[in-house]
């Protein structure tokens, strides 16, 4: 089927938490860094109502309806977040809509394991923006991605990773309660509810002025499992105390990084890490090893995310020290990648031939 002249290549960054892990779930502030490598998507509007979602794992097909997507089969796990985003985008528009094809690059992995860069959040952001483009819609793609990501996790998660992938650079974010939007998405009136939903509490702040590495611990972690374990062991009073400490130290870290103050960064990051390890489940031998190696090279490391695996951000006083630390980690078989602040979701001039080929094969 010939396209309608609307095709676009998009890209979005991944994310790494600077601070606010767990506390953002309990009313605190998260500070999140958008990082590369970027992942790209290609969307093309169709002249019929067919939807094709294309991943390296295969294809998911269906049709557009004013009530959402009518999939030909139940979306498998690898399509779960994208399928939910597309379904909600159609419900937001709530009228007959032309179809579209969307192809997504795979997210980066290490030995087949996710790196903790927020692949599901990035998928929701790319899908929301692709749908908005293909349908010529005016909905707020950030709000849509936030509710789709939460809905796909049965209301769990803070949305901080979604906000960072969308806005880019470094964001300061407070959790948006999208429970009412999830309900509207399930029962009706979603488009109006989305329009009337308050602005998302997200602000870009100054990017870090220190060299950084992301070091993967070699273990992928299940964030929902860790959150459940932590929340079982911490009552309301304990959570309130944790949030106050996390917000204070997070502000200190943000300010030190913006100044390029390594001593201040080292102090704040170390205290944040001690606070996170005090929760118990986030602490692993692999993360402790990353912390020790960073210290031995003249750097400081802090877990990024829920812990229990995934990885850590390593802050260095200068590029030479960062590069030397990178060699130390790599000599021990660890993935160590220099990172810096990346822009948020954006259109790209150059298409990805492989993604265009996948879409061409569906017409």
Taking residues 56-75, report their average pLDDT.
Answer: 96
- pTM over 0.85? The answer is yes
Enumerate the domain spans of the chain: 3-205+343-360, 212-339
Whether pLDDT at 259 is above 80? yes
Enter the tokens of residue 71: 């999939």
212-339 CATH:
3.30.70.890
Contact predicate 214/313, CB 8 Å: yes
- Give the tens place of pLDDT for each residue, 313-333: 999 999 999 999 999 999 999
- Give the tens place of pLDDT for each residue, 102-140: 999 998 776 666 777 889 999 999 999 999 999 999 999
Residue-level pLDDT at 2 = 43
Taking residues 256-276, report their average pLDDT.
Answer: 97
Whether pLDDT at 159 is above 70? yes
Contact predicate 79/53, CB 8 Å: yes
Q: Which H or E run includes 225? A: helix 223-232
DSSP letters spanning 93-113: H-S----EEEEEPPPPEETTE
- Mean pLDDT score of the chain: 92
Taking residues 52-77, report their average pLDDT.
Answer: 96
Helix, strand, or coil here: 59?
Answer: strand
Burial class (CB in 10 A: 0-12, 13-18, 19+), 280: middle
Tell which CATH architecture fits domain 3-205+343-360.
Answer: 2-Layer Sandwich (3.30)
The whole-angstrom separation of Cα 266 and Cα 288 is 16
Query: 127 vs 277, 281, 292, 321, 355, CA distance in Å?
Result: 35, 33, 39, 39, 14
């Amino acid at each position: 089927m010939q396209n309608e002249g609307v095709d676009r290549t998009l890209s979005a960054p991944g994310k790494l938490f600077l601070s606010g892990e767990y506390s953002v779930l309990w009313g605190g502030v998260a500070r999140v860094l958008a990082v590369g490598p970027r992942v790209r998507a290609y969307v093309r509007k169709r002249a019929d109502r067919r939807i094709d979602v294309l991943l390296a794992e295969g294809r998911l097909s269906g049709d557009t309806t004013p009530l959402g997507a009518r999939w030909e089969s139940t979306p498998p796990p690898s399509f779960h977040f994208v399928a939910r985003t597309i379904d909600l985008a159609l419900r937001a528009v709530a009228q007959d809509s032309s179809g579209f094809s969307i192809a997504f690059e795979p997210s980066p992995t290490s030995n087949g394991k996710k790196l903790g860069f927020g692949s599901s959040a990035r998928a929701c952001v790319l899908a929301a923006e692709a749908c908005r483009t293909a349908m010529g819609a005016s909905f707020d793609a950030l709000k849509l991605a936030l509710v789709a990501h939460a809905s796909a996790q049965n209301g769990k998660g803070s949305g901080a990773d979604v906000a960072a992938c969308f806005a880019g650079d470094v964001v300061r974010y407070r959790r948006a309660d999208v429970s009412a939007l999830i309900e509207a998405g399930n029962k009706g009136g979603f488009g109006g509810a989305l329009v009337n939903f308050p602005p998302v509490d997200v602000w870009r702040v100054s990017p870090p002025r220190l060299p950084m590495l992301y070091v993967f611990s070699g273990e992928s972690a299940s964030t929902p499992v860790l959150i459940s374990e932590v929340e079982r062991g911490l009552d309301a009073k304990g959570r309130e105390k944790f949030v106050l400490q996390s917000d204070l130290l997070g502000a200190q870290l943000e300010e030190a990084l913006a100044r390029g103050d390594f001593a201040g960064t080292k102090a704040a990051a170390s205290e944040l890490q001690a606070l996170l390890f005090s929760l118990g489940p986030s602490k692993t031998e692999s993360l402790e090893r990353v912390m020790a190696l960073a210290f031995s090279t003249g750097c400081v490391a802090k877990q990024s995310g829920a812990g229990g695996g995934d990885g850590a951000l390593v802050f260095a006083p200068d590029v030479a020290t960062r590069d030397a630390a990178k060699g130390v980690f790599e000599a021990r078989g660890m993935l160590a990648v220099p990172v810096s602040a990346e822009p948020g979701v954006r259109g790209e001039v150059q298409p990805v031939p492989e993604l265009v080929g996948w879409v061409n094969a569906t017409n």
